[in-house]
Structures are given as structure tokens and as C-alpha cells.
Amino acid sequence: MRIDIISVLPELMESSFNASILKRAMDKGLAEVHFHQLRAYGLGKYRQIDDEPYGGGAGMVMMIEPLDHCISELKSQRNYDEIIYLTPDGETLNQKIANTLSIKDNLIFICGHYKGIDQRVRDLHVTREISIGDYVLTGGELAACVLADAVIRLLPGVLNDEQSALTDSFQDDLLSPPIYTRPEEYKGLRVPSILLSGHSAKIEDWRHEEALRITREKRPDLLD
């Protein structure tokens, strides 16, 4: 998978891809992430990328030309499955969306700033708009990192234990059951005996029941 991220602040994202599992995914050649500094496509001597909104109002709007030039250049090099604009008014990211995107080959993420991007960029290029939650960030960069992380970890070969992505919370619309490791007892707190029984069918049943119980308690909406 290749992800091209268009941003005025790529440095905000670099460390996210330079550590741990995402770095390993890149080192293994399973994912490529390319940053594109939007300023390089800015207009005039000052590489302008934003301007005042027509009709007045507070805040600046990211102009169409720099974004169109950058996106068109990328599109001339390969076919993109989705061109995603990270925005608080997009569909809210969930595991299903991450799963769907994880089987794509080429994605573009557009990170907005200020009041957002000129509507015509959305009309012309954007195929999907994604929010990471009902709150407003200062820009789309952190949202792009969240989305890239959720997607890249699902690529075959990225996680050591292939099973572990399949048993994540949300993967079957249930939250994860409680997990424990050594010691068996700590300050009087014991690991549930079923987990020490070695009886794998019973352990699976227990885990499923616990997943249902926890989902009912914390996120009953997932069971609807």
C-alpha cells in the first residue's frame, strides 16, 4: 500500500511513522508513506496557499490551485483508489472503514488547516471525507496519522501474530475481553481461574461472554 499525504506541516507526522509497528511495516516494504509539502505548490513569491473566504467571515480558506496542482501531479503518476480529506464534517472513522481502506493500493490523504479547503477541491478530487471524532483539531495531520495507523496495522504481515488484528476490539462489533499476564496473583487480585485451566474451548466461551458483557456495559450501541 502507498499513502501520499498532502500537508503544510509534514514534520508533525514524521515521528509517527518512524517508530514501532508502522516503521516495521515500511522497512518490510508493506507500506510506503510519502509526504508532500503543499507550500511547494503555493502561489507567488510567498508560496501562498490560503486566502480570505468569499462572502466574508472569520478564518482563511485553503486555495484550490496549490491543492489541485499537487493532487493532479500525483494522479498523473498512478491511479488512486481513494482521495481522502480529513475533516470534522466527514464520516466518523470506525473499524469497518479501516478494514475497507486496508485492501486498497493507493490512497491520498489531504490535511486541512484554518477554516478548511475550497469546496471545489472536494467537488473535483475528493472521493471520501473522514473525521476521527466529533471535535475539532488544529489541522488534519493528527487525524491522518490516526487513519494511517488504523489502516497500516491491518496489512498482511505487519503484525507478528496474524490473529491479533482479527481479535481486536471492534473487529466483530464487540469490545475485547479482559486480558491478564503473570503473576497469577498480585496484591490479592487473582487471574480468573478459567484462564489457567488449559481448557481452550471453555476459555473461548468465557472470552466471548466477557466481550458481550463489557460491550453491553460500555458500548450498548454496538449491539444494536
> How far is the C-alpha of 175 from the C-alpha of 193, rounded, in Å?
21
Q: Minimum Å distance from CB 199 to ligand ADE? A: 44
Lookup: cell for 116: 478548511
In the bound state with ligand ADE, the residue whose beta carbon lies nearer, of 12 and 30, is: 12
> How far is the C-alpha of 177 from the C-alpha of 204, rounded, in Å?
10
In the bound state with ligand ADE, the residue whose beta carbon lies nearer, of 42 and 88, is: 88
In the bound state with ligand ADE, the residue whose beta carbon lies nearer, of 17 and 85, is: 85
Q: Minimum Å distance from CB 181 to ligand ADE? A: 34
Q: Per rule CB under 6 A, is residue 143 in the interface with ligand ADE?
A: yes
In the bound state with ligand ADE, the residue whose beta carbon lies nearer, of 36 and 207, is: 36
Q: Minimum Å distance from CB 89 to ligand ADE? A: 9
Q: What does the longest C-alpha to C-alpha distance in the chain come to?
A: 71
Q: Which residue is nearest to ligand ADE (CB)?
A: 143
Draw the binding track, 180-219, toward ligand ADE (x: CB under 6 A; -: no contact).
----------------------------------------
Total binding residues toward ligand ADE, as defined by CB under 6 A: 12
Interacting residues with ligand ADE between 15 and 74 (CB under 6 A): none
- Give me the residues paired with residue 112 across strands: none
Q: Minimum Å distance from CB 1 to ligand ADE? A: 20
E strand residue ranges, the chain = 2-7, 32-37, 50-51, 61-62, 82-92, 106-111, 128-131, 185-186, 189-190
> How far is the C-alpha of 94 from the C-alpha of 85, rounded, in Å?
16
Interacting residues with ligand ADE between 83 and 142 (CB under 6 A): 86-88, 112, 131-133, 135-137, 140
Q: Minimum Å distance from CB 86 to ligand ADE? A: 4
Residue of 140, 74, 131 whose CA lies nearest to 108: 74
In the bound state with ligand ADE, the residue whose beta carbon lies nearer, of 64 and 117, is: 117
E strand residue ranges, 113-159 = 128-131
Residue 7, CA atoms < 13 Å, CB-side half-sphere: 24
**Do 102 and 61 form a contact (C-beta atoms < 8 A)?**
no
| Positions that interact with ligand ADE (CB under 6 A) | 86-88, 112, 131-133, 135-137, 140, 143
